[in-house]
Amino acid sequence: MNFNSGDTAWILVASAMVLLMTPGLAFFYGGMVRGKNVLGMLAQNFVVMGIVSVLWITGVYSLAFSGTGKFIGDFHQFGLNHIWQQATGFEALTIPPLVFCAFQLMFAIITPALITGASADRLKFGAWALFTGIWLVLVYAPVAHWVFSPSGWLFQLGAEDFAGGTVVHANAGAAALALILVIGKRRGWPKERMRPHNVPFVLLGAGLLWFGWFGFNAGSALSANTLSAFAFVNTNTAAGAALLGWIVVERLRDGHATTLGAASGAVAGLVAITPACGFVSPMGAIAIGFIAGVVCCFAVGLKNKFGFDDALDVVGVHLVGGVLGALLIGFFGTKMTNGANGLFYGGGWTLMGKQAVAVGAVVAYSFIATYIIAKVLDLLIGLRVTEEQEVAGLDLSQHAETAYETASFNDGSRFSITSSGN
């Protein structure tokens, strides 16, 4: 095999950058929860790094990328056997298969980690760890195979997903919705408002995510060339446009542009450009980013309307943003960058149709499979902490630790903060 050391070096670096996104996400989420649950949030994210790292090498990589099945891989590369062989359909890659495996591992880590934002403050730590492992095998592996593997049915259909808008974001978002419907609301929600305890953490996390996302998206070119440069520039452009879109809505609707809004907008833009970054022009990225910023800013209000306690807006940002980005490729996709032409470039509705099928299939499968997994686990071992543990906070009840000397004024306790509508 003919490896290119430039490509290989870039994908190794990109892999490390994508890994950093998960601690970044942990801080992004950790700042938004109450002071008594911040370690619980960090722990749920870190344990995913442990579980997925081991399972991926053991067999999940093989299930996702080996073999010629339309719906799932095989056991050919179980335990990284035959890892000197490229994954099926990736024979032209100029990086060693083991580098590809490492890069894809980081995606498999952050995807279940994204779910923790929705179910924040109320999951048993052990139950979450078990859920992560089962979900990785039963949901992530098949969905990654459908979309990313050239033998997968959605890949063969011609649906475009450059870096995981469907596999990572729509998938995690749909799973998050299913999980919270099984476990129910946090005690006191929505009457008792649960204020973010450390907005600077949120901004720090968003910054780490934005940085790591260059590895995520530009790395998905699996080479260091013009295509990865397009993905890089589109990623940054969309994040910027979405940040602006979100805070403009806030300024006009609520009177103030907020720091939390700026961070949320940037992440919404990064989510939406993820599937599109290697298929659209930078001008298209401005449009996709701005639309995502505005739409997601409104979408985070849906939970109040429909009464599902998506604590940190995983549905509003990742499901809505991921679906939006995947569908907008149908409008903004252009051969000038890569892939097929969308509606605005004379490609008609063909690409949009394929995108819609991919989005529909991934969201439906992820939602249904996750709902079943969560329901069964809840019946067998119970997913939620007890009321007493929930009131005490996950830090103390799940980990016998506390993050701060005094968290009493930070925890959004019922006597200090009340709701005044929305």
**Contact call for residue 302 and other proteins (CB under 8 A):** no
Residue in 4, 86, 94, 304 binding other proteins, rule: CB under 8 A? 304
Q: How many residues does the chain have?
A: 422
- Give the span between the Cα atoms of 371 and 335, in whole angstroms: 38
Sketch the per residue contact string, 233 through 252, with other proteins: x for CB under 8 A, - otherwise.
Answer: -----------------x--
Residue in 300, 326, 352, 363 binding other proteins, rule: CB under 8 A? 300
CB of 254 to other proteins, least distance (A): 5
Sketch the per residue contact string, 193 through 212, with other proteins: x for CB under 8 A, - otherwise.
Answer: x-xx----------------
Sketch the per residue contact string, 256 through 285, with other proteins: x for CB under 8 A, - otherwise.
Answer: x-x-xx--x---------------------
Taking the least distance from each CB to other proteins, the nearer of 222 and 317 is 317
Taking the least distance from each CB to other proteins, the nearer of 2 and 418 is 418
Taking the least distance from each CB to other proteins, the nearer of 262 and 359 is 262
Using a 10 angstrom Cβ sphere, with 0-12 exposed, 13-18 middle and 19 or more buried, the burial of residue 86 is middle
Mark residue 339 as left, alpha or beta (left: phi above 0; alpha: psi -120 to 50; beta: remaining). left
Residue in 183, 297, 361, 383 binding other proteins, rule: CB under 8 A? 297
Residue 78's contacts (CB-CB under 8 Å, 6 or more residues apart) are 58, 59, 62
Q: What is the residue-wise DSSP string for 18-45?
A: HHHHHHHHHHHHHTTS-TTSHHHHHHHH
- What letter represents residue 298's amino acid? F
Cα angle at 248 between 247 and 249, to 5 degrees? 90
Taking the least distance from each CB to other proteins, the nearer of 198 and 236 is 198
- Give the span between the Cα atoms of 273 and 235, in whole angstroms: 6
Asked if 151 and 68 count as a contact pair (C-beta separation under 8 A), the reply is yes
CB of 420 to other proteins, least distance (A): 4
Contacts with other proteins, residue ranges (CB under 8 A): 193, 195-196, 250, 253-256, 258, 260-261, 264, 297, 300-301, 304, 313, 409, 415-422
